[in-house]
Amino acid sequence: MKVIILAAGYATRLYPITKNKAKPLLEVGGKTILNHIMEKVEKVTEINEVFIVTNEKFTPAFTEWAENYQGDKPIVVINDQTTTNDNRLGAIADMQYVIETEKIDEDIMVLAGDNLFEFELTEFVEFYQQMNADCITAHELDDIEDLKQTGVVFLSEDNRVMLFEEKPNQPKSNYAVPPFYIYQRKTLPLIKQYLLESHNPDAPGNFVPWLINQRIVYAYLFEGMRHDIGTIDSYHKVQELFK
């Protein structure tokens, strides 16, 4: 299994903090967000390579980080060649860019580079292997306003994804979907098909409602905190929590 860490955004909502620093390289609790994520990745024996996809602006910083990284997993930094927020590819297009340039022909785990989470990726992989199908993650979120700002899924009794809505005005469940996914090797061509059909290439969750019409997708329900660092306020709150 390969991992693709999405880190090609420009994080304009966090300016001026991220004007010259990539969001995954911001520090929380004495280490970068990316290091927090990699601690979870390192525990998954099935993972044999990690790809960090970023942009032209931040490629040197990620390359320097990778050269100093002390873990066991091989890391490759991929430059998607974009230079500004206006010409960015979007997360789904970035996934396809990595798949094509690196000729990936294995299962992939996709992780956003700006989320901190308590659950273990080892448990997510175990669930994926049991289901033998594409899998997303979900967790209970009881604040209705928070649900309106994220992807929301309606699940069957066996956790199959029956409906996925991005930022719904009237959420049909309290299961929020963070940007952590595992896709089967045979699903990879569908990412290209999705893009060729001119669907939204931006937020990674946009692929899921299209995918559930092509194949069965299950949701791994996790417990524990998950922090999406999208604004200056959320960054400061996470820093306080990790003190």
Q: Tell me how far apart the alpha carbons of residues 111 and 80 are, in angstroms, rounded to a whole number.
A: 17
One pLDDT digit (tens) per residue for the chain, 243 residues: 999 999 999 988 889 989 999 999 999 999 999 999 999 999 999 999 999 999 999 999 999 999 999 999 999 999 999 998 888 999 999 999 999 999 999 999 999 999 999 999 999 999 999 999 999 999 999 889 888 888 899 999 999 999 999 888 998 899 999 999 999 999 999 999 999 999 999 888 899 999 999 999 999 999 988 888 888 988 898 988 887
CATH number of residue 44's parent domain: 3.90.550.10
Domain that holds residue 94: 2-241
Q: Tell me how far apart the alpha carbons of residues 140 and 226 are, in angstroms, rounded to a whole number.
A: 11
Among 170, 163, 168, smallest CA distance to 219 is for 163
Q: Name the domain count of the chain.
A: 1
Q: Under a CB-based contact definition with an 8 Å cutoff, are residues 187 and 105 in contact? A: no
Residue 157's pLDDT is: 94
